[in-house]
Every structure is written in C-alpha cells, then in structure tokens.
Amino acid sequence: MSFWSLPGPSSFVGRISRAVGMGRSVVVRLPCHCPKRLATELKRCFHDDMPLIEVSATQDERPVECLYNRLVTDGHPDLVRTASTLVRESSFGGQIIWLEGIDGALWKQWKGFLLEYEHASRSVPSSIQTHLLVPLRGEWSCLPLAETVGIEVLRWNGFVRPLDMLLLANDSLPDLRPGIGSELASSVAAQLAGWDPDLCTLLAALSLDDLVEPLNILREYGRSRGWDALATKDDLQLWASGAMQQFRSLDTLHPAYSAVKNEHLRIRQLLWEAELSVLMPYIERERQLLLTTYSTLLTVPWVDAYGRVIADVFDLEIGHIEYQLSRRPGITREQLRQIADLKEARNSLSHLEPVPKVVLSRIIASDSGRARSRTNSS
C-alpha cells in the first residue's frame, strides 16, 4: 500500500493537482523527514495529462539557465535567455517540472525567477503552459513567498488522519492472524506512530511484547532524527524539523520527540488509547457471551459491593460474573482465570492505565486459541 494513496495524504496530492489544473505553479512546504516519494506519486497522478520531469537546481547556474540547459532541446544559441523566452520555447511547453535542491543559498535567485516566470506564463495559452513544483524542505520550508495569481503555496500539515495510519499499520503487519492480537498490534503501532509512516511500518514489524514497552524504541528513533538535541519551543521550527504536525485538529508533538524529551506519561497515554479502542469493545463482547453461556448459573437480583441492586442479568459486570461463577461447581480454574483477566483489563483501562503485559498476553493467547479452534472446525 502506498502511503500517498491513503485518504488523507491523497487529498494533499489532490490539492497540488488541482492547483496545477487551475494553471498555477506550486511551492510545496515540507518538513524534515517528510514521507518519501511524493514526486513519484505526482508523476503517477499527472501521467495521463502531462509529463512530470524532475530537475535539480545547482549553485553554478542561474534559474533560467538551469531550465534551458535541461529542458530546451531546440533553443537558438544566440538568444538572450529570460523567463519570457523560456515560456515560448516549443520543447519546453506542456510539462510539469519538479525542482529539487533549492535551499537558502539558492532561494533568493529562484524566488525572483518564480515571480518573473509566473508573470511571463500569463502570455502563453494555458494548454502549453509548463508549471513548476518547488519543494522547500526543513528549515528552508519557512522561507517567505507571497502567493500570487499564478503561484500557490501549500504546506504539508494536518493531512494525515488516524484512519490513514491504522490502515497502513494493518497493511504492514508481517503476520495478519485472526483475533484480538492483530487488532491490538495495528492499533498500538498506529497510535505510537502519530502521522509518521516510516515509524508506523517499523513498529508494525515488531512483536506485541515489544510494542507495549515502546519507550526505548521511540527514543532510538527520535535520536536518529536529531530531536534529542532540538531545543526550540517555536511551533513553526518544531514543524520544520518534523517534530510537530497538526493531527486530530491539534498541533501535536511527534511521539518519538516526546520519548527523547522523557515525556513518559504521554507515551503511556498513547498506549492506553490504543488498547482502549480495541479492548473495551472486545471485553463487552466477551461479557455478553459469558452472560449467554452461563445464564442458568447467574443470579438476579444481585446486590453489588456498593449496595446497588441489579435486577437484569444482562446488567451484570465482568466482576459480578467472576464472583458468582467462582462459587458455582463445574467452572474450571482456567475459565475463571480468563474471566479474571478480562476484569483486570477493564479495571486498568477504566483507571486510564495500560493493561499489564502479562494479562494482555493471556487474553491474546486465549482469544487466539479460540480463533484457531473455530478455523479448524469450519
């Protein structure tokens, strides 16, 4: 699965495509460690309409010379090369140019050229215009440029959604087996990765035992991106470094950045949220199954530990079921332990805590065993 084909990222590709379709060049502001292969996805997107050519800017050439030297095959050697002459060259028209390598040292020249080029492009028919896509990365992504009629500025920020990451995590699991274990692995990997597809893929390849103790993995990842040495608190600089994105409609710090800054509680909260989204519905399904299976052994009305009277058997909680069944003959120790694990997991999640690793492992093993039995019987 391509990251850029996911719903959120593909909407960013669509924004660029629509801007080009409206006759504009686009400056694309990207943070450090932005998801890879954006140019490849755009090339695929534009394939049926016009070719996308990748060109690298250099220190040794003026912008107009750079484009002439790489893209004009039939230009007159004595012609004074300007933006106005470039847009009229027959071999130059009807393309999309992805311009790599523009940094702070080159920006002053290219900024001026972009404005000249935008003005010159208005003089040629839209059907033969060539549009420039200019990615600015990292610290250079904050370089100033005012939008004009023919230039749109787009920033990679806020396009990734939680569902995108869940789909990517699920697709990246090395062994997708039926049962709660795979659901948990996908949920934890997606939650801990935030909006970062590289981290999501890395986490999804790990065992669930490693995923539920993620601090060291996240710290190592954060250090590999230099975030342990990042001292700024400025939101724009944090975004440019890749350590912040708008996610779930909030400016959010990357989980690996939080890990290298020893914000343990945030990592714990992310782990809790991932487990909560999968385990609470699972525990409720198991509770209803227990009520159906053991309906003849359960008693109502029932007075709980707080003095509340429960009149309907389907209102009994996991703890009530465990207590009553522990006093009935014919219930095995293994059955009671499985119910006790569900109760402990629910209690942990209700108290905003991740489920203890040993309890989580037993729940997954029990569920996997039943899933295998169902598969074999069918």
Do 298 and 372 sit in the same domain of this protein?
yes
**Residue of 364 and 73 predicted with greater confidence:** 364
Domain boundary among 140, 155, 170: 155
Q: In whole angstroms, give the CA distance from residue 304 to residue 181.
A: 32
The gap from C-alpha 89 to its chain's centroid, in whole angstroms, comes to 42
In a domain, 320, yes or no: yes
Q: How far is CA 342 from CA 41, 275, 292, 332, in A?
A: 45, 13, 16, 16
Burial grade of 308 (CB within 10 A; 0-12, 13-18, 19 or more)? exposed
Which of the residue ranges 124-128, 151-155, 241-245, 274-278 would you say has the lowest mean pLDDT? Answer: 124-128
How many residues are there in the chain? 378
Do 125 and 13 sit in the same domain of this protein?
yes
Burial grade of 30 (CB within 10 A; 0-12, 13-18, 19 or more)? buried
What's the average model confidence in pLDDT over 150-155? 94
Beta-bridged to residue 134, according to DSSP, are 27
Domain boundary among 198, 232, 267: 267
The pTM score is 0.91
Do 13 and 141 sit in the same domain of this protein?
yes
Do 16 and 126 sit in the same domain of this protein?
yes
In a domain, 272, yes or no: no
Do 168 and 215 sit in the same domain of this protein?
yes
Total structural domains in the chain? 3
What percentage of the chain's residues is helix, strand, coil (to nearest 5)? Answer: 55, 10, 35
In a domain, 273, yes or no: no
Do 193 and 222 sit in the same domain of this protein?
yes
Domain boundary among 137, 155, 173: 155
pLDDT above 90 covers what percent of the chain?
82
In a domain, 18, yes or no: yes
Segments forming the whole domain that contains residue 229: 162-267
Do 204 and 108 sit in the same domain of this protein?
no
Do 8 and 129 sit in the same domain of this protein?
yes
Q: How far is CA 54 from CA 20, 35, 67, 135, 204, in A?
A: 16, 17, 11, 11, 32
Asked whether the bond before 301 is cis by omega within 30 degrees of 0, the reply is yes
Do 126 and 56 sit in the same domain of this protein?
yes
Q: In whole angstroms, give the CA distance from residue 189 to residue 132.
A: 37
Q: Coil, strand, or helix at residue 175?
A: coil
Helix 180-193 to helix 264-293 angle (10° resolution) is: 160
Beta-bridged to residue 309, according to DSSP, are 303
Do 259 and 169 sit in the same domain of this protein?
yes
The pLDDT of residue 207: 92
The one-letter amino acid at 3: F
The one-letter amino acid at 129: Q
Q: Coil, strand, or helix at residue 146?
A: coil
Query: Could you tell me if 168 and 126 are in contact, meaning their C-beta atoms sit under 8 angstroms apart?
Result: no
Domain containing residue 150: CATH number? 3.40.50
Which of the residue ranges 23-32, 283-292, 361-370 would you say has the lowest mean pLDDT? Answer: 361-370
